[in-house]
Amino acid sequence: MARVDLSNPAKRDALKPRTSYYSHPLGSKRYVLMRVGKTGRTWGARVPGRPDKGLGPVDDMTFDQVADLVRKMEVEADDKPTALHTIGEALDSYVKRAGLTKNKRGVATIQSHINLMSDLRAKRIADVRLATLNKWRDDLITPDRGIATVNKAVGTLKAALNAHGVEGDWSKLKKLKEPKAAPAAILTRKDVDLVLAQLSNSDPDFHDLVKALWLTGARPGEIMNARKHDIRGNTLTLTGKTGTRHITLTPGVAAFFAARAAQARDNLLETDGRPFTPDMLKHRWDGLELDATPYALRHGFITSAIYAGVPIFPLAKHCGTSVEMIERTYGHILAEMQAEAFGALEQVLM
């Protein structure tokens, strides 16, 4: 919930559409709310112990009128009203409002998160301790449910409680940090030569698929989906998750693909006249018993290109990725080469 000076018409007019409210604190845990949607702007109210309440279009009331109305709104009559609101009540209220503003898939996703909160429903929002919430969060992690899914559930819980307007330790609940990914396995030229020698007689079709991946740095799916008409002279057209791109091949690599196209029925790389499938790739690759995935061929291509001095921008364009991704993934190599370059420069200068 973003805090904004909603009493200032110029600042109100500058606000961008969003699904959640903008808020203006009035003190005593009361807020004037404003939602900016694609079809218009509406006022809202947040009062301790009660769900957020819509108050109608912005054009129907001035800010001062809305603020006065919010100040006069009653809270629960109990001595400690906020403690009487349970997490279950907040979740039910959140789902009800979500059904009015979200599509069916969005509501289904929210409900799937809320299904993970059954042990929390009876607990009072203001009384539940952070240690209880942390344990609930940590216990959600299973072999079939990873950190990313758990963090989405935590986000839904915090959104529901925040919308309910009750303060408590829940606001300190943090998402889990994803563990740092292990360095990607990289196949070297020596590794690939050994694999290709092994496949040369035993599985010539798979030999050519592995060689194609190594020579282009393409993603496996891009090569497996390439058609024979995608090779034109020294240009190979690849289509994948980043769209379609045209890469320029060296004469030797272009000749390799031209020979494959000449004997193929439809797809550029085939086995027994049929296109390779992900299952075929996995089965045959697993048979090599390498401590790497087929993607290691792409990593090897990019690494070799960097060491060969290929500039990052054309390398990124060739591989269908971004300069930022290469810098982030292969930064240690770039840093090493930079240190070597400046070391050589020192010899020239000194």
Tens digits of residue pLDDT in 297-308: 999 999 889 888
Q: Is 113 left (phi over 0), alpha (psi -120 to 50) or beta?
A: alpha
The pLDDT value given to residue 308? 87
Tokens read off for 29: 């845990």
CATH of 2-75, picked from 3.30.70, 3.30.160, 1.10.287, 3.20.80, is: 3.30.160
* Contacts with 273 (C-beta within 8 Å, 6 or more apart), sequence order: 265
SS3 per-residue string spanning 317-333: HHHCCCHHHHHHHCHHH
The pLDDT value given to residue 80? 43
Task: Please give the average per-residue pLDDT across 166-181, as a whole number.
Answer: 80
Q: How far apart are CA 206 and CA 294, in angstroms?
A: 12
Residue 60 has pLDDT above 80, yes or no: yes
Of the spans 97-101, 273-277, 345-349, which averages the highest pLDDT? 273-277
Q: How far apart are CA 236 and CA 257, in angstroms?
A: 9
Q: How far apart are CA 185 and CA 143, in angstroms?
A: 23
pLDDT band at residue 102 under the 50/70/90 scheme: very low
The pLDDT value given to residue 342? 66
The pLDDT value given to residue 280? 93
Residue 217 has pLDDT above 90, yes or no: yes
Whole-angstrom CA distances from 317 to 212, 314, 323 are: 18, 5, 8
Residue 77 has pLDDT above 50, yes or no: no
Lowest mean pLDDT among 55-59, 161-165, 287-291: 161-165
Q: Which is more confidently placed, 7 or 106?
A: 7
- Give the pairing of strands 2-3 and 22-27: parallel
DSSP 267: B
Of the spans 19-28, 30-39, 278-287, which averages the highest pLDDT? 278-287
Residue 133 has pLDDT above 70, yes or no: yes
Task: Please give the average per-residue pLDDT across 183-194, as a whole number.
Answer: 84
Q: Which fold has domain 189-344?
A: hpI Integrase; Chain A (1.10.443)
pLDDT band at residue 181 under the 50/70/90 scheme: low
Q: Are 306 and 318 in contact (CB under 8 A)?
A: no
* Contacts with 67 (C-beta within 8 Å, 6 or more apart), sequence order: 7, 24, 26, 32
Task: Please give the average per-residue pLDDT across 166-189, as a whole number.
Answer: 78
For the chain, domain boundaries: 2-75, 83-172, 189-344
* CATH code for the domain defined by 83-172: 1.10.150
Give the side-chain half-sphere CA count within 13 A for 167.
6
Q: What is the mean pLDDT of the chain?
A: 86
Residue 79 has pLDDT above 60, yes or no: no
Amino acid at 1: M
